[in-house]
Every structure is written in C-alpha cells, then in structure tokens.
Amino acid sequence: MRADLIALLPELMLATLAMAVLLAGLASGKARHGLLGAGAVLALAATGVTLWLAAGATDPGAHFFSGMFVLDHFAIFFKALFLLTAALVVLLSHDYLKRNDYRPGEYLALVMFATVGMMTMASGVNLAVIYVGLELMALSTYILAGYFRREVKSHEAAAKYFVLGAMSSGILLYGLSLIYGATGTLDLATLARVLASAKPGPSALVGVALLACGFLFKVAAVPFHVWTPDVYEGAPTPITAFMSVGPKAAAFAMFLRVFIGGLAPLAASWIWLVGVAAALTMIWGNVAALTQDNVKRMLAYSSIAHAGYALVGLVAGGPAGVNSVLFYMLVYTVTNIGAFGFVILLESRGYAGETVADYAGLARRHPAAAFGMLLFMLSLGGIPPTAGFMGKLYLFAAAVNAGYVWLVVVAVLMSAVSLYYYLRIVLQMYLREGDGAEPATLVAAPWTERVIWACGVAVLVIGLLPAPFLAAARAMAGAVGLL
Amino acid sequence: MISTAHVLVLSLALFTLGVVGMAVRRNFITVLMCVELILNAANLNFIAFSRQLGDLTGQVFAVFVITIAAAEAAIGLGIIVALVRLKQTVNLDQVNVMEG
Amino acid sequence: MLDLLWLVPALPLAGALALLAGALRFGKRTTTAIGVGSAGLTLAAVAAILVQYAGMHGETVARHVFNWISAGDVTVDFALRLDPLSAVMLSFVTLVGFVIHVYSIGYMHTEGDRAYARFFAYLNLFMFAMLTLVLGANLVVMFIGWEGVGLCSYLLIGFYFDKEYCAAAGIKAFVVNRIGDFGFLLAIFWAFKVFGTVDFAGMATALAADPGRYAAAVTPIALLLFVGAIGKSAQLPLYVWLPDAMAGPTPVSALIHAATMVTAGVYMVVRCNFIYRLSPTAMLVVAAVGGVTAIFAATIGLAQNDIKKVLAYSTVSQLGYMFLAAGAGAFAGGIFHVFTHAFFKACLFLGAGSVIHACSGEQDMRRMGGLAKKIPVTYWTFMVATLALCGIPPFAGFFSKDEILGRVFAAGAGNLNGFGASYLVLWALGLAAAFLTAFYMFRAVYMTFHGEFRGTPEQWHHVHESPGTMTWPLKILAAGSALVGLLGVGTAITFGTDLNWFESFLHRVAPTVEVEHAPALATEWVLILLSVAVALAGILLARRFYSGAEAFAAPQRMAERAPAVYAAVANKYYVDEAYDRAVVRPLGKLARFSWKGIDTIAIDGTLNASAFFTEIAGDLLRFLQTGNVRNYALFVLCGALAAAAWLLL
Amino acid sequence: MNAYIPVLLFIVIAIAFPLITFVFAWILRAGRYDPIKLEPYECGNPITSEAHDYRFSVRYYLIAVLFVVFDVETVFLFPWAVMFRKLALFGFVEMLVFIGILVVGYVYAWRRGALQWV
C-alpha cells in the first residue's frame, strides 16, 4: 500500500496543488496573475522534485495498485517532459492572459489537471487506467480550448474539439470493450500473453482497429486529423502550443505502451495500418500546409506532419524506434513551444490575427526574436545544426534499420516539401520589408520572450550536442519492457 | 435466457446509432445524446462480457465510464450554454467560422 | 597544433556569433574587426596547421571533437579529418575566403551599418559551414556543412531583399538544392544501412576488406551521392539556380558561387572516390553529366551580355570539367582544377565586381568598353585570370585543364571500364568547350575593356579605379592564377620526369584510376598542343568579331563625312555582318535556344509545374476541410470503418 | 420461483396504488368546469408561451450540469456503502478524500455563483 502511494505521489501532489490553485484563483479573482502563475510553476517544479524522489524510492520494474500502474524509466521520461511542457506553457500564458484579461485561476488549474491526466497515461499499464487518464486530459483540454469566452473562434474550437473528441473516445472505448471481451483482461501484460497464446478472433481485431482509430485521433493522424486545424487556430495560442506538444506526446506514450507493449503479438496486423497512416499523415499534413496563410493554421498542419514522422519511429519499433520517438518528442516540444511563443509575441492585432504577411521585415525590427524563429523554422524543417535535424536523422535511421525504407523515402521527400512553407516565414522575416501601412511589431511580453530564448538555446544545444539527450532517451527506454 | 450475443447486438445497434447520429444530426444537444449512446453501448459490452467471463473488472470499469460520461456531458452542456449565450443557437452547422 | 584543428571551423563561427550577438548593432569598424579579423585568424591557424602537416607525408589525421550521436546502434562522432585532400581544400578555402573578406570591406562600404554587419555575419557563418564540410570525417558532419553552406548562400543571394528577383533567386537556389540534398540524405541512410557506419575511413576499410559483399549497394549509393553533387555543383539538370544566384553581391558570387561552395559536389565525389571507383556505371554517369554540362553551359555563355552571367555560365561549364575528370578516374586532376579554378574564377568575379563598381552599378557589357585605360589594375588582373581560364600556358588553368583532357583521352584510348568510346566522345566535347570558353571570355574582355565606351558620358566621367582594399585582393588572386598551376605540372610536359607534386600529394587518398596502356608521350604532346591551339583559335575569333572601335561606332561617322568612302567602310561593315550572320548568330541562336528553350521552358517549367500541382493538391485538401463538424465526424467514421475493414480482411 | 413472488406482489401494488387513487378522485370530485379551471396553472399564473415550444432557459442546463456531476458520484458511494465493513478504515479514508474533492468542486461552483438563479 505504502509503495503504491509513493509511486502515485507525483500525481496526487499535482492534483492537490491544482485544486489549491483553483481555490486561490477563486479568492483572488483576476488581479493576481503573477502570484497564481508563480504558484503554478512552483507546483509543477515541486511535482518534478517529487517525481525524482519517488523514482528513487521505487523499483522501476515494480508494478503498483495490483499491476495497474508502473513508474518505469519510460514513464519518468514522459512525466518529466509533461511537467516541463506545462511549466513552459504557464510561463507563455502569463502575459497573454493578462493582455486579454481572463481569469488565471481556472486556466492554470486546468492545465495542471490535464498534466495529471497525461502523467497517468504515461504510467498506466492497464487499459482502464490509461483511459481514465486520457479522459482527464481530454476534458481539461476541451475547456481550455474554449477558455476565451468572448472569442467566437475559441468557442468554435471548443465545440468542434468536444464533438470529435467525444466521438473518438467513444470509438476507442468500444474497441476496449471488444478487446476485453475477446481476451478477458484489460491488463497489458496479460493481454500480450493471451494474444500470443491463441489466435485472436475477428472481434479482437475490430477492437484493435477501433483502438488504433482512437489513438490516431489523439495524435492527429490522417484521416483522424480533421479537428486539428480548426481547433489549433481557434484555441488561445498558449493552449494551442500546449495541445500541439503535451497531449500529443502523452498520446504517443500510450500508443507506444499499448501497441509496442500489449498488442505486440498482433503487430503483423496493425503495423501496416499504422505505417500507411504515417505516410498519409506526412503527405497530407505537409501538402495542406503549403497553401495556408494563417500561421497558427500552418503550424497546425505542420504538427500533423510531425505526428506522421513520429509514427515512423513507432512503426520501426524495437528499442531504437522507441528511443527515437522519445527523443523526437523532446525535440519537437522545445521547437514547437518556441515557435508558438513567437506567434504569441506577434499577436498584437486582435485575437489570432496573424497571417504570414505580418512577419514581413521582422528581422529588421526584432533581430533577436526573428533569429529565434529562424531557428525554430529550420528545426521544424529538419535542417542542421538544429535539434530537428537530429530528431529526424535518428527516427529515419531507426526506420531504415527496421527495413521501412519506403517510409523513410516518403518522410525525407516530405520534409523537403515542408521547407516551402517554413521558408515562407523566414523569407517574410528576412527578405521582405514590412508594408508601410502599419508594420506589425512584437508586443512587450518579457516572460514569453524568456521562454523563446530558452527554447532557442535548447534547439541549438540539442542540435549540436545531442549525445547526452539521446543517452537520456536511450536509458529511459533502453530496457523497453513497457509492461 | 439472454445470451451475451443478444447484448452485443443491442450494443452494436446503439453504437451505430450514436456514431451515425453524430455524423448526421445538427442539434448539438442531440449530438451530446449520441455521445452518451456510444459510451453506454460500450458499457453494455463491458457488463455483458464481465458476466460471461465471471470477471468483475468489466463492471468496475463500467462504473468509471459512467462517471466519465457524466463529466463529459457536463462539459458538453457547459459548451452548449456558452455557445447559446454567444450565438443564440445550438445548430452545429452554424459553427463554421474556421475552415480550409 | 593539430590538436587545435577544431579551431579552424570554430573561429569563423565565433565571429558570426559575435556579430549576431551584437544583434547587428555594431558600427562598420567593429564589424570589420570581428568579421575580417576572424577570417584572418582562421587563415593563420590553417597556415600553422598546414606547415606542421607538410612534414607528415600526407598521413591522415583524425581529430574526434566530441561524441556527437551515440544511441542505439547509431553512433556518429563530430570528428574532423585532415588528410591531403582536405588540406588542399583548406588551403584555398581559407586563403580565397580571407581575400574576399578584405575585398568586401571596400565593396560593401556603401551599405548601411546593419546590412554591412549582416553581410559579414553571413560570410563568417559560410566560412564555418564550408570548413566543417571540408574537414568532416563522416558523411553526417559533411552534411551539416553541406546544409550550412546552402543556408548561407540562400541568405546571401537574397541579401538585397528589397529587390524582388533577389528573394526569388534565393528561394530558387534553396529549393533546387534541396532536391539534390534529398538524394544525399538517402545516400547517407543507405550507406549507414549497408556499412553500419558513415565514417569515411570506416566505409573505405569495409569496402577494401570485402568489395564483393557491397557490390550491389555501391552503384545506387554512388548515384544518390551524385544527385546531391549535381544540386550543389549546378550540373545538368539542376544548374538553373546558379545563374540566378548572381543576384547576390559580387563578393558572394566570387566566394560561394565560384570558388568554394559550388565545388563542394566535386569534393564530395572525390572524397568518396573509394565508392565510385568500384562502380563503372556511376563513373560514366559522372563523366557524362560533367562533359555535357561543360559544353552546354559554354554555348549559353555565348549569348550573355551581363558580365556576371557570362562568368556564371563559365563556372557551370568549368564545374562540368571537374566532374568529367572525376568520372574519368582523374580524381586528383579534378581537385587540381578545383584548386586553380578557385583562384582565377574568384579573380574574375572580383574583377567584374570592380568593373561594376567603376561603372556605377552597370552590368551590361553592351554599355561598357574601353575601360582598360581608366582601370588598369582591374584590366590586367582580369586579363591574367582570363588567360588562365582559357588554358593558355603558363597560366594555372592550362595545367589543370590539360591534365583533365589528357586523362579523359587516356580513359578513352585505354578503354576504361570498357566505356572507351564514350570517353572519347566526352573528350571531344571537352575540347569543343575549351574553344567556346576562350571565345566568350575574350568576347567579354573586348566588350568590357577595349574599343570605345558605349555608356552615358556621366558614367564615363565617374569611372574610377577601385580602392586598395579591392585591388590588392585582385593582385593576390591574379598572382595565384598565374602561378599555382606549377604545383601540378603534368608528366608529359616535363617529358616523363614526374614533377606533378599535386597528384603525388593526393595519391594516398585519391589515387588516379590508371588505364592499362597510357598513350605515348608523343600523343600526349599532340593533345597538349591541340588544346592550346583550340584556345588560341577561340581568342582570335573573338578578336575578329569584337575588337576595334570601327565595328560599332565607325559607320555613322563615315556616312556623314564621305559617302564615297562609305561603301568601303560599309563593305567592311558588311563583312562584319557576314561574319556575324555566318557564325555568331547561329551560335547565338543555338545558345539562346538551349538557354530559353531548355532552361526556361523545360527546367523552370518542371519546377513551376511541380509547385503548381502541389498548390492544387493543397487547395483540394483545403476544400475537404469544410469547417463543418458533421463532415469531420463523417471523416472519422469512414476512417474507423476503413481501419476495421483493413484488419478484418 | 418462489423467490420472485415478493417482486410480483411489489409490482401489483405499485400498479394498483395509482389506479385506486384515480378511482377515488373520480368518485369524490365535483364535475364543474369553467375556462379558468381549464388553464394549465389553476393558481392563476398567466400562460406566457405554448407548451409545444420546448425551449428552456439556459439556466436549466446549468442546474442540469451540476446535478449530473454530483448525482453520478453516488455510483461510487453506493458500492462503498455496501462493502463498508469489508473496506474498513482505508475505504473510509478514501471515501473522505473523494467527498473532499467533491466539496472542493461544490465550493467552487457555489463561490462562482453557479447556484443562484440569475
């Protein structure tokens, strides 16, 4: 019992602190942005420390709560990543909430609740636990997407996200029920054993298919990506940044855990499904991004494309594949948060009014920030010496070794295509003059700028010295039991 | 005597109703009901299977799903309320500012 | 000192970062100090290193800077490799680079402080990338540099971003290069899969140990690598970006688009010669693409009136020569041409820059002429470099070009890999290209420096010699163009006694593929004389067409003075016309056809078409994104059905 | 089979009770009608709209939301109550935590004014 509670301590702590923040926000109203923000960041940091202590105090191989919950290195890596993401997003949101005059309390609390959900997803080795974590994350995100009550687009985002999200989670749940019926268990380890022993019937296969649909929806893979552009465009930009990295990474955590772990015996049947989905996702995401003028929307499609790249690593499978996905998630997180941070800086003309044209000549007026954006764009495009290149290199190498050359060909070709639209922004910033009318200037947002700086440095450091980070990812998923 | 198969057919029917309903109905509230249909179809499965397998996991999970469904309904209603306050409509076809 | 090898790329990087950290807010003095200073320090460091290296009989020095990627079965070190090949590249990249940094002080002084700083930041960044490319000990490090130089060239081409076509040219360059990089990247992955390493030494040993085992993989890898080289070194069909790249400032054209970056492809092929020499097919492909590009670009050069465009096409043509050499197994010969070409082509571009500077921004040779009197230094240096390019002894170009043609002929006569006939054809093409090169280069010289000035009087009034910071680099490079050829005097020229220091120096890393029975000494002398004769013929023809003020200005004067004399002059004029009709126009037509017809329509066409179709596809996908939730739900539903069906069937 | 007899009785009673009530009312009531009496609200409230017009004030939904959330928690309380002794102290503490969380939610809803009818 005691060990169980220790393993669960980080989640318990974060949940408690989130409620505290909620009530504190209630007491203090709109006024205390700084205080609540600081509180949230501290809470996340404290949770990080707790995670570290809990990891030290428990055996990575052990199972808790009668085999429903683990705290293995895989889970620790992702939890740390989630906490980092949440902290960065909170910092991004600070100036933004203030500027748009919305209550910070519920906002911060919801971000923390979503984080709790993601952490649970990373640790669950029982489909029920994973599903509960998933729903906690999803429900919090629905609300966050619609948090800007006075904005039509924000509402629309919430509505669409809710309808489609609910649908997908329903489909996922139905798949779970079929799998449960076919195997009589929701525990991944037992599931793997049962599936390995006996050839699964059609109902199990349909269950797996529906499960895959649910997961693919959460990572925004074609054809379940339809919600992404509208939701990303409509949601408050910090939340878009959050959705594009946090929940996506969490979805990948559960994807790896469930498919590489529990459903490994059925790999033969699902690997092609996922592989084709990955190819379609890369093609669709990149091609559709080409014609976008709204930067948030373009980044939405780009995040679809990146989900495709990461799926390549999933298809590759094996320790190398899993490592590459973990590493890619890290790379993608710092890069994308930085990019959206820049979008936030530019959001000076009303809500979400940022077209590519607004970027004209920014390099002249804000050389430092523009240089940061240049880094992020190059990293997303996968050009050395940025982190993105390392991530892709490592993913594709894993896939090639696993023998999926055709996927890698598609991936490399598509990342070449992607440069069209990433460079459009660089072109605007560096090679164009702002139209004389009213050149878009960056709003003063010290914390957002600090986040951008941090991300920029991270992108460069990871790009030039990836060894330690790769080593970390490797140590984390080195012994890929996942069960 | 009702066999698992019967329940499965029923749940499949409910599931189909729900999914198709979500794809064809305009009224947000109806769509919300369709969500409930899907989740409860899954619940039926869980309970039927757990009875067939003589294993309680399914029923326990069903309880959790009920709670989650409640929370989902609550949030859905919340979104609807906000939507009505802003647009005076529950018609999803009128929620189409963003596209392309 | 060799342990400080990492300093070589580090110094320019430091310079670039310093300039960027100053957020481009430095004044001109500070910028110059940092930008040019770092380049100078790099040159000093390289000099010190090479002095020490000279005593090491060309053994390979590998310096492992830091363990870069090591996870799973992927291990890549950030390792630098100094061997004769990289040493040669190092020497001229840093020397020419430094010289051009100095030149830029004068050339860019009219820019604003910001632009000035930006320019030097990019230039330093380029030096860093190029040196990384040269020193990289494995394909991945090389690729880092490869992409780096691409990025810098993109930023520098678009330097004058207020001009629309500059930005467009920048994009074009970057995109076309990506097509090549796509091949390069695939080659890296493939090589990694096959050899288990991307380290040059590692791959070489693996191949040496058991060539048969990799027989199947060698050709595709070599060809994919070559795709990358085609993009970077502007060969058919991907050369289109280079002429447009002339939109950038002239020093950039000199450094990046003539002397260093564009030769990276040749360098890469030679660096991987241990792969190429095992694949006759790949060798022939390299040679063929090179040879055809050489003649093709030369014909285009005939029709150009923009002085920089002429030089651009001649660069493409010369790069073709280099690949022709590599394809014929003369790897050292190819690198030798890279080496000499760096000097005289840089000198030519800087000279052109000086001319443009003098004519207050005029680039059209039809509005120049007679400049020799006003800007003697530029004229003489330009002349030296031109002679070198035309392959007139004893200037540098003669030795390298003659080496190449000799080797290609030998490959043909000795029936290399059984492709003898093809190599002979390529040799003929090379010879024809040499003729055209001499012709259009002297056409440029005559139109620019001889005859009467054809621009406006005030332009003529403003014409002035450039400042010392611009003329000294010209003198240095001209000296180089005159002398560096002596490093690689062919054995035939010295009647068999081997004074070819260059080739013997490179022999350890890039040995030439020898054919069974090399042609006799007499034959080789015939070849040498032939190539010189061809070059002289080209020069004389150009003189015939373009020298002498009469050709242009005389007729009107005569007509006014004495109608009687007019006939004669007119006849002379008609003669000129006749020549013009007979020779120049057909050539011009051919050139213009190959330029307009093939370049603009075929290649730009395909590029634009592909872009167009992707746009269409994008719009189609947009159309599917209706913004209506129910349609989205339907999407998800269909997806789910498809997935279920897939797993069941 | 006998086990089901109580159930049967229960059903019978459940059906009989309303019937008997109706019958009594039918017997006892006075049969005098007038327009006012036929109005939906005999207490005299004027009718504002048609009964077929099924649109409710949004406030009902707010209440519905709160109701749904708090109502469904009994689904956990019930099994706990049944197994109360077996789960012993741990179960008790755990339930307290659960209730505590609900209370937090309740306090929040209350303080944010979701409960007053505005």
Quote the distance between the C-alpha of residue C334 and its chain's center: 12
Written as tens digits, the pLDDT of chain D (118 aa) is: 677 888 889 899 999 999 999 999 888 887 777 777 777 776 767 776 666 656 667 777 788 888 888 888 888 888 888 888 888 888 889 899 999 998 998 898 888 887 776 6
The answer to whether the beta carbons of residues B98 and A162 sit under 8 Å apart is no
pLDDT at C598: 53
| Nearest CB to C627 within list B23, B25, B96 | B96
Q: Is A227 on the interface with C (CB under 8 A)?
A: yes
Interchain CB distance below 8 Å, D107 and A1: no
Interchain CB distance below 8 Å, A465 and C66: yes
Interchain CB distance below 8 Å, A168 and C143: no
| B-proximal residues of C, 589-628, CB under 8 Å | 622, 625-628
pLDDT at A435: 56
- Mean pLDDT for A118-145 is 95
The residues with which C75 forms a beta bridge, in sequence order, are C70
CA C29 to CA C113: how far, in whole Å?
Answer: 10
The answer to whether the beta carbons of residues C639 and A210 sit under 8 Å apart is no
| Nearest CB to B93 within list C625, C628, C634 | C628
Task: Return all residues near C151 (Cβ < 8 A) that are at least 6 apart.
Answer: A378, A383, C129, C174
| C-proximal residues of A, 408-437, CB under 8 Å | 408-409, 412-413, 416-417, 419-420, 423, 427, 430-433
Nearest chain B residue (CA) to C621: B100
The answer to whether the beta carbons of residues C76 and C447 sit under 8 Å apart is no
Chain B residues lying within 8 Å of C630, measured CB to CB? 22-26, 92-93
Candidates A2, A4, A19: best to mutate against D (most CBs of D within 10 A) is A19
Chain A residues lying within 8 Å of C167, measured CB to CB? 427, 431-432
Distance from CA of C310 to the nearest CA of A (A): 26
pLDDT at A19: 94
Q: Which of A175-184, A444-453, A474-483, C502-511 has the highest mean pLDDT?
A: A175-184
| B-proximal residues of D, 54-83, CB under 8 Å | 58, 61-62, 64-65, 68-69, 71-73, 75-76, 79
- What value of ipTM does the predicted structure carry? 0.84
Interchain CB distance below 8 Å, A430 and C178: no
For chain D, domain boundaries: 2-111
Task: Return all residues near C327 (Cβ < 8 A) that are at least 6 apart.
Answer: C283, C284, C285, C286, C287, C288, C289, C290, C291, C426
Chains C and A touch (3+ CB pairs under 8 A): yes
pLDDT at C68: 66
CB pairs < 8 Å spanning A and C: 181
Q: Do you know the residue count of chain C?
A: 649
CA A408 to CA A431: how far, in whole Å?
Answer: 32
Nearest chain C residue (CA) to A234: C627
In chain C, which residues have pLDDT < 70? 1, 23-24, 67-75, 161-168, 171-172, 175, 303, 496, 547-615, 618
Distance from CA of C640 to the nearest CA of B (A): 11
Task: Return all residues near A389 (Cβ < 8 A) that are at least 6 apart.
Answer: A379, A382, A383, A463, C144, C147
Chains C and D touch (3+ CB pairs under 8 A): no
**Is the backbone of residue A384 left (phi > 0), alpha (psi -120 to 50) or beta?**
beta
| Nearest CB to A223 within list C143, C622, C639 | C639
Chain D residues lying within 8 Å of A139, measured CB to CB? none
Least confident of A266-270, A351-355, A466-470, C532-536: A351-355
The HSE-up count of residue C581 (CA atoms within 13 Å, CB side) is: 5
Interchain CB distance below 8 Å, B38 and A230: no
Q: Is C629 on the interface with B (CB under 8 A)?
A: yes
Interchain CB distance below 8 Å, B74 and D62: no
Chain D residues lying within 8 Å of B80, measured CB to CB? 61
pLDDT at C552: 44
Chain A residues lying within 8 Å of B72, measured CB to CB? 135, 139, 166, 169
- Mean pLDDT for A109-115 is 96
Distance from CA of A252 to the nearest CA of C (A): 19
CA C375 to CA C353: how far, in whole Å?
Answer: 12
Interchain CB distance below 8 Å, A142 and B35: no
pLDDT at D13: 93
pLDDT at A125: 92
pLDDT at A10: 95
- Treating both helix axes as pointing N-terminal to C-terminal, what angle do C264-271 and C307-327 enclose, rounded to 10 degrees? 10
Distance from CA of A448 to the nearest CA of D (A): 30
Interchain CB distance below 8 Å, A26 and D104: no
Distance from CA of D33 to the nearest CA of B (A): 40
Chain B residues lying within 8 Å of A230, measured CB to CB? 98-99
Interchain CB distance below 8 Å, B74 and D79: no
The answer to whether the beta carbons of residues A63 and A70 sit under 8 Å apart is yes
- Treating both helix axes as pointing N-terminal to C-terminal, what angle do C307-327 and C331-358 enclose, rounded to 10 degrees? 180
What is the average pLDDT value for chain A, to the nearest integer?
Answer: 87
Is D2-111 in CATH node 1.10.1060.10?
A: no
Chains within contact range of chain A (3+ C-beta pairs < 8 Å)? B, C, D
Does residue A98 carry a pLDDT above 80? yes
Task: Return all residues near A258 (Cβ < 8 A) that are at least 6 apart.
Answer: A127, A130, A188, A211, A215
Q: CA nearest A164: which of B64, B44, B92?
A: B92
Interchain CB distance below 8 Å, D108 and A23: yes
CA A250 to CA A118: how far, in whole Å?
Answer: 5
Nearest chain A residue (CA) to D109: A26
Q: CA nearest C423: which of C490, C534, C326, C523?
A: C326
Interchain CB distance below 8 Å, B86 and A155: yes
Chains within contact range of chain C (3+ C-beta pairs < 8 Å)? A, B
Q: Which of A255-259, A349-353, C17-21, C350-354 has the highest mean pLDDT?
A: A255-259
* pTM, rounded to two decimals: 0.73
Interchain CB distance below 8 Å, B86 and A152: yes
pLDDT at D87: 82
- Mean pLDDT for A233-259 is 94
- DSSP annotation of B1 reads -
CB pairs < 8 Å spanning A and D: 12
Chain B residues lying within 8 Å of D64, measured CB to CB? 77
